[in-house]
Amino acid sequence: MPMLQDPSLKYKKFQPSIKLDDRTWPSNSLEKSPIWLSTDLRDGNQSLANPMSIEAKTRFWKMLVKIGVKQIEAAFPAASDTDFNFVRSVIETPGLTPDDVWVQVLTPARSDLIKRSFESIAGAKRAVIHMYNATSPLFRDVVFRNSKEETIKLAKEHTELVRTLADEYSDKYGTIFAYEYSPETFTQTETQFAVEICKVVKSIWKPSAEVPIIFNLPATVEVGTPNTYADQIEYFCRHIGEREKVHVSLHPHNDRGSGVAAAELGQLAGADRVEGCVFGNGERTGNVDLVTLAMNLYSQGINPGLKFDDMLSVIDTVSQCTGLPVHPRHPYAGELVFTAFSGSHQDAIKKGFEAQQRRADGGDNIWSMPYLPIDPADIGCSYEAVIRVNSQSGKGGIAYLVKQILGMDLPRRMQVSFYQVIQQASDKTGTEIGVDDIIDTFKRQYYLEEFSTKGRLALRNFSLEDSRGGGESTPSDAEYTRTFKGRIAVDGESRTVDGVGNGAITAMLDGLKKQLGAQLSVKSYEEHAIGRGSYVQAASYVNLSDGTKDYWGVGIDPDAAASGLKAVLSAASQACQDNVFPQVQPLTTADAIKTAAAGVVDNLKGGVNAAVNGHMSVNEKAPTPPPKEDEDEKIVINPLDLTAAKLTCDDAVKRILTTSHGYKQSYRHTDVQLVVGWIACIIGGGVCAWSYTVPFEESKEAVGVAVSIYTILSALLWLHAKLVISNKVFTGRRKTLQGRIETSSVQIRSTTIPASHSANTCPKYEIKLSYRRTANGGKSLINAKKSLSSIPYPDLFDSAGVFQARYFWNFLNKSTREVDDA
């Protein structure tokens, strides 16, 4: 059937029954959090194709308690045995329901169902009996065929029954009862009539200010704009009377998509309490979303009283218990809600983070960030998700990622240049380019880290000599010259290069011109430090020109001059690809193979030279920055003490995996050891102490048994340490959201090989890594791998025994990347 040209032939405009010209709610603002009631396990549950099992409800309940909900509608206990038994279990299971949590149950105004509901909450500490009957004209006429008087009578008589039973159960079990009454379909009910029926209910229940009666005013079906709801709420609040003994509660549904707005305006209009579901599950379009409401308050600087600092685990629990996914655009929780793909958004966010950091350094922590209403870190989301790159992205976003991951702050013009490289790749595939691909491309393009020997030109070693002219006096710039002498690998073949200039870079360019015929000049040069303290490195960016085309190069080195020279060779290597060096012929395939082989040989030679000369050639290591905590702390050990060296590395493994990689360490093995150890001590010590107080004849048997138990437990402890813990230094898990929730678990064992110093072999730190990635709560295996890697201790500790956290960080990252390639 087509949509109607004139929908008024079928649909009537919603007309509220009251006119509130002196409404005050538009001038109010939200200042505090409401009382929250989660109806996930009732309204949320009754609307599922497959209602939750007791196990799922229990898991959900625990999560609700953990995030701080104090009133939870557990079930419609008269509906089914599952619901009834679940209510029994939250009351009877020790530790499941803290003393300050109210267990709420729902019943219609029907005496058999009310009685059954009371049976379900017998023995509860605090219980809310929630009774409803529909009050709107449509329901009165069509569903119940009741007059207004009969409708009031229904509510009155069943409230009397609730009152009687509440007194009875209270006397018997000491339960504190609250009563919630819902004139169901409130928004479609004449508001005056809703007030009238609630006044009758109140007069029977006789509430107190200590335990107020709850009048829940549901938008059972959302039929009007949120302002009409707010008017109805304000009218109700003004006319209900004894306001201090009444909690006005909102129960918005979301049929028009404005459930959140209705709940917020309803609070402005005087409501004290909100009923809803986590992520807005519930009948049809759902109940109002508690996460959005709470986080809206949080983003205005108001503590919502609910904790969502581990949003991923909340998503995990809710989606697994309900079988409903969270939409990627869901406010605050969706996979994409803190992510920018588009260039102008990325640019603004990049600048925003830089400005935020500057303000934070000056002590101002107020969040003020383009496009991001809250700090993703507050709800446990990583910044890595903030910027993702596709064909809509711009230079700013790409530069942001390079800065976040490599610590390199690219000059503006270089951002444009590298952006073009990424743009081309992204245009070609038409898909998103992952962060790893961007970083990999960056390192390949500029010959960094593992690609440092892949350029056609690479620095082996060098020396710089100053010549100052002018005798004793300070030389002028014109008099000051520098001589560069060094070995440069040209397609893997070492050549001597020397040249003179007014600085290191011009001196090297002079050498390249003389020995390789390269006509290159510097257009711009910038450098900055990466890291702090003893880990500081220089990052250099140089822009060279051959007269027609520009080439960018990057260098990183602890020594500023070496970093500048590496940047020159990085740019010159690219110029080589364009054949601007007459003496460097284009590579043939055979050449390429030779070059690759020479690269390997050079690496080996480098190692030998390093061993002989006591230092590495300058182009061999350019590690990325370690986590900040590592930079702040300088760890020094006796470099000959292999145990200390191993322990330092073990500690670094734990620190890096928990901070940089976001793993949560599991302490299960330690807990087992502690518990068994304590039991052994308590039994052994206790029986020994007791045996002193009685004659030997009486105690000898018990002492014998205690000694045997102690010995067995000690043996078990030893076996557990030997066989299960063995060399395990880290076991951890982390959850990530990649369109679905994925769980990665990692286990690392470490050893020193060989275990002691030997004349022929350099001692190494070796790690065995086992990795598993699963989805679907562990049911679907995505990736499971093992790897073995090692690194010589002399690479990790300098001659003074200072731990090189940066190198270790690179080593560990490389090892984890090898297994986590899915």
Ligand X SMILES: CC(=O)SCCNC(=O)CCNC(=O)[C@H](O)C(C)(C)COP(=O)(O)OP(=O)(O)OC[C@H]1O[C@@H](n2cnc3c(N)ncnc32)[C@H](O)[C@@H]1OP(=O)(O)O
Q: Can you give the binding site for ligand X, defined by CB under 6 A? A: 43, 46, 76, 78-79, 108-110, 113, 132-133, 143-144, 184, 220, 283
Minimum distance from residue 680 beta carbon to ligand KIV (Å) = 56
**8 A C-beta contact, residue 45 and residue 52:** yes
Residue 317 makes CB contacts below 8 A (sequence gap 6+) with: 59, 60, 63
DSSP 210: S
Query: Which does residue 294 bind out of ligand KIV, ligand X, none, counting CB within 5 to 8 angstroms by kind?
Result: none
Q: Bridge partners of 783? A: 773
- In the three-class reduction of DSSP (H, G, I as helix; E, B as strand; rest coil), residue 224 is classed as coil
Is 220 or 453 the residue whose CB approaches ligand KIV more closely? 220
User: ∠712-713-714 over CA atoms, to 5°?
Assistant: 90
- C-alpha 334/C-alpha 642 separation (Å) is 48
Query: Which does residue 182 bind out of ligand X, ligand KIV, none, counting CB within 5 to 8 angstroms by kind?
Result: ligand KIV
Minimum distance from residue 72 beta carbon to ligand KIV (Å) = 15
Segment 125-164, which members bind ligand KIV (CB under 6 A)? 132
Is 16 or 732 the residue whose CB approaches ligand KIV more closely? 16
Query: Which does residue 216 bind out of ligand KIV, ligand X, none, counting CB within 5 to 8 angstroms by kind?
Result: ligand KIV
Query: Which does residue 78 bind out of ligand X, ligand KIV, none, counting CB within 5 to 8 angstroms by kind?
Result: ligand X
Is 218 or 376 the residue whose CB approaches ligand KIV more closely? 218
- Using CB under 6 A as the binding rule, whether residue 236 contacts ligand KIV is answered as no
Is 118 or 803 the residue whose CB approaches ligand KIV more closely? 118
Of all residues in the shown chain, the one whose CB is closest to ligand X is 79
Minimum distance from residue 141 beta carbon to ligand KIV (Å) = 18
Is 218 or 397 the residue whose CB approaches ligand KIV more closely? 218
How many Cα atoms sit within 13 Å of 573 on the Cβ side?
A: 28
Nearest-10 Cα torsion for 636, 637, 639, 644:
-140
- Using CB under 6 A as the binding rule, whether residue 218 contacts ligand KIV is answered as yes
* Cis-peptide, bond into residue 754, ω within 30° of zero: yes
Is 76 or 484 the residue whose CB approaches ligand KIV more closely? 76
For residue 546, CA distances in Å to 410, 501, 543, 555 come to 22, 18, 10, 20
Query: Which does residue 775 bind out of ligand KIV, ligand X, none, counting CB within 5 to 8 angstroms by kind?
Result: none
How many Cα atoms sit within 13 Å of 355 on the Cβ side?
A: 11
Query: Which does residue 79 bind out of ligand KIV, ligand X, none, counting CB within 5 to 8 angstroms by kind?
Result: ligand X
Query: Which does residue 110 bind out of ligand X, ligand KIV, none, counting CB within 5 to 8 angstroms by kind?
Result: ligand X
Residue 451 makes CB contacts below 8 A (sequence gap 6+) with: 443, 444
Minimum distance from residue 660 beta carbon to ligand KIV (Å) = 46
Query: Which does residue 108 bind out of ligand X, ligand KIV, none, counting CB within 5 to 8 angstroms by kind?
Result: ligand X
Minimum distance from residue 382 beta carbon to ligand KIV (Å) = 38
- Using CB under 6 A as the binding rule, whether residue 216 contacts ligand KIV is answered as yes
Q: Which stretch binds ligand KIV (CB under 6 A): 212-220, 333-341, 471-479, 573-581?
A: 212-220
- Using CB under 6 A as the binding rule, whether residue 630 contacts ligand KIV is answered as no
Number of neighbouring beta carbons within 10 Å of residue 678: 11
Segment 35-64, which members bind ligand KIV (CB under 6 A)? 43
Is 181 or 710 the residue whose CB approaches ligand KIV more closely? 181
Minimum distance from residue 251 beta carbon to ligand X (Å) = 9
Contacts of the segment 342-347: beta carbons below 8 A, 24+ positions apart: 342/392, 342/393, 342/394, 343/392, 343/393, 343/394, 343/395, 343/396, 343/397, 344/394, 345/370, 345/371, 345/397, 346/387, 346/393, 346/394, 346/396, 346/397, 346/398, 346/400, 347/394, 347/395, 347/396, 347/397
For residue 810, CA distances in Å to 272, 606, 624, 661 come to 54, 19, 7, 13
Is 220 or 731 the residue whose CB approaches ligand KIV more closely? 220
Q: Bridge partners of 177? A: 127
- In the three-class reduction of DSSP (H, G, I as helix; E, B as strand; rest coil), residue 178 is classed as strand
- In the three-class reduction of DSSP (H, G, I as helix; E, B as strand; rest coil), residue 544 is classed as strand
Taking residues 242 to 261 in sequence order and writing x for each that binds ligand KIV by CB under 6 A, - otherwise, the string is: ---------x-x--------
Rg (CA), the chain: 36
Beta-strand pair 213-219/246-252: parallel
Is 82 or 545 the residue whose CB approaches ligand X more closely? 82
For residue 69, CA distances in Å to 48, 73, 92, 307 come to 22, 10, 19, 9
Query: Which does residue 46 bind out of ligand X, ligand KIV, none, counting CB within 5 to 8 angstroms by kind?
Result: ligand X
- Using CB under 6 A as the binding rule, whether residue 76 contacts ligand KIV is answered as no
Q: Which stretch binds ligand KIV (CB under 6 A): 93-101, 216-224, 344-352, 360-368?
A: 216-224
Is 322 or 543 the residue whose CB approaches ligand X more closely? 322
**8 A C-beta contact, residue 544 and residue 571:** yes
Query: Which does residue 76 bind out of ligand X, ligand KIV, none, counting CB within 5 to 8 angstroms by kind?
Result: ligand X
Q: Which stretch binds ligand KIV (CB under 6 A): 12-20, 213-221, 433-441, 794-802?
A: 213-221
Residue by residue, DSSP assigns 253-276 as: B-TTS-HHHHHHHHHHTT--EEEE
Among 135, 136, 151, 182, binds ligand KIV (CB under 6 A): 182
Q: Token pair 């590298």 is at which residue?
A: 418
Which residue, 609, 516, 613, is CA-closest to 568? 516
Among 184, 222, 289, 510, binds ligand KIV (CB under 6 A): 184
Number of neighbouring beta carbons within 10 Å of residue 288: 28
Residue by residue, DSSP assigns 461-515 as: EEEEEEE--STTSPPPGGG-EEEEEEEEEETTEEEEEEEEESSHHHHHHHHHHHH
Segment 94-113, which members bind ligand KIV (CB under 6 A)? 106
- C-alpha 552/C-alpha 571 separation (Å) is 5
Encoding tokens for residue 390? 């596709």
Is 106 or 414 the residue whose CB approaches ligand KIV more closely? 106
Minimum distance from residue 184 beta carbon to ligand X (Å) = 5
Among 97, 151, 220, 426, binds ligand KIV (CB under 6 A): 220
Query: Which does residue 437 bind out of ligand X, ligand KIV, none, counting CB within 5 to 8 angstroms by kind?
Result: none
The residues of the shown chain that bind ligand KIV, judged by CB under 6 A, are 43, 106, 132, 182, 184, 216, 218, 220, 251, 253
